[in-house]
A and B are shown apart, each in its own frame.
Chain A
Amino acid sequence: MSETNQALTAEQAYQEDNDSALGFLKPQFHEEKFPTVQIWGYIGSLVLTFAAYLLVMNHVLPPVALLSVILTLAVIQAGLQLGVFMHLKEGRGLAWQLIPLYLVFLIAIGMVGMSIWIMLFKSGVS
């Protein structure tokens, strides 16, 4: 039926778009014999937490660099929680939860980041 020079039907276009561009939204659920992922997630969280603690307590870097490093560790740990424990990539209608989440991360990072940034100009107190 569908020749190369023939226009796609709406149904075919819908199918093709879903398969190629939106394939990553297909529900995928992990089934394991043993909660290995959860255990690694927990160990990873503990390691990141204590790494940040030791970095700060030993003052290994100048303040602004140190804050940047521990905030990066926190973001990694948040990603770990989202991916491992909140099953972020599992679910039906993933686009409905992923897109607002990306959007709110953008707003939150902008709001907090700009607040931190503007306060850096009063570096006389820190």
Chain B
Amino acid sequence: MSMPAADEHVQHLPIEFANEKESIKITGFWMFLVTDILIFASLFSTYAVMHNAVAMGPSSQQLFQMGPVMLETLLLLTSSFTIGLGIYAMRKGQARALIYWILLTILLGAGFVFTEIHDFVSFAAIHATWHTSAFLSAFDILVGTHGAHVTFGIFWAVTLLFQLKKRGITAQTARKVFTFSLYWHFLDIVWIFIYTFVYLNGRIG
């Protein structure tokens, strides 16, 4: 009988998909992302409607500085790249490389959060808070929800570091790292739309 072993297209599943019980949790995580898309879609809708309701407060054109925004964008895009390389290393079984890529991702994510907090504090200094106008309420809740997601992601990644250090790359830790990477890339996608629809659109006026 012909053996399939001779077939050069035989492909083994990556470790995070190899175990059915772990694999289905990745599918489950996509379901979570689907619901998170709905949350952000409703916040974007609110922002679209409230964008020009500035009351007596500053408008987006007066308020937004593109410097910190470009820095945040670069940090998050780069962190998305580094966790992508982390998954690449994980599939090759390189635990040490994976840990360093996650560490780098955490640092870049922390840089993003600090830049964002700094930006929000500078807004508060000129009394541009969510009390000021419907525009700023919508802005703070949209950008703040994203920032809270990133902050949570950082803590999540730290727990992964401990698990990887203790257990190495197993079917379970690989699945956890993979779902974290999905989460992180998803947040990058949301940020692309915040960058475009909130900040750049704010400059268009």
B196 lies within 8 A of A115 (CB): no
Chain A minimum-CB-distance residue to B178: A87
Contact B23–A85 (Cβ < 8 Å): no
Interface centre among B46, B186, B188, B192 (most CB of A within 10 A): B192
Check B49–A119 contact: CB distance below 8 A.
yes
Report how far A114 CA is from B44 CA in the complex, Å.
11
Confirm or deny: A96 has a beta carbon within 8 angstroms of a beta carbon on chain B: yes
Taking a contact as CB atoms under 8 Å apart, the answer to whether A57 and B30 are in contact is no
Measured between beta carbons, the chain A residues less than 8 angstroms from B182 are 86
Assess whether A112 is in contact with B77, with CB atoms less than 8 Å apart: no
- B188 adjacent to A108 (CB under 8 Å): no
Contacts of A25 in B (CB 8 A): none
Write out the residue numbers on chain B whose beta carbons fall within 8 Å of the beta carbon of A86.
Answer: 181-182, 185-186
- Is the beta-carbon distance between A35 and B88 smaller than 8 angstroms? yes
The DSSP consensus for interface residues of chain B is: helix
- Which residues of A in the span 40-77 have a Cβ within 8 Å of any Cβ on B? 41-42, 45-46, 49, 52-53, 56-57, 59, 63, 66-67, 70-71, 73-74, 77
B188 in complex: contacting residue of A81, A93, A116, CB < 8 Å: A81
Q: Cα distance A103–B33 when bound, in Å?
A: 12
Enumerate 26 A-B pairs (CB-CB under 8 Å) in ascending A order.
A29-B11, A38-B85, A42-B78, A42-B81, A45-B81, A57-B66, A70-B196, A70-B200, A74-B197, A77-B192, A81-B80, A81-B188, A81-B189, A85-B80, A85-B181, A85-B188, A86-B181, A90-B17, A92-B23, A93-B23, A97-B27, A108-B38, A108-B41, A115-B46, A118-B49, A122-B52
Q: Residues of A at under 8 Å CB distance from B?
A: 27-29, 31-32, 35, 38, 41-42, 45-46, 49, 52-53, 56-57, 59, 63, 66-67, 70-71, 73-74, 77-78, 81-82, 84-87, 90-93, 96-97, 100-101, 103-105, 107-108, 111-112, 114-116, 118-119, 122, 125-126
10 extra A-B contacts, CB within 8 A, seeds A78-B193, A112-B45: A27-B13, A32-B88, A74-B192, A78-B192, A81-B188, A92-B13, A93-B23, A97-B27, A100-B30, A115-B49
Chain B interface residues toward A at CB < 8 A: 11, 13-14, 17, 20, 23-24, 26-27, 30-31, 33-34, 37-38, 40-42, 44-46, 48-49, 51-52, 66, 70, 73-74, 77-78, 80-81, 83-85, 87-88, 91, 181-182, 185-186, 188-189, 192-193, 195-197, 200-201, 203-205
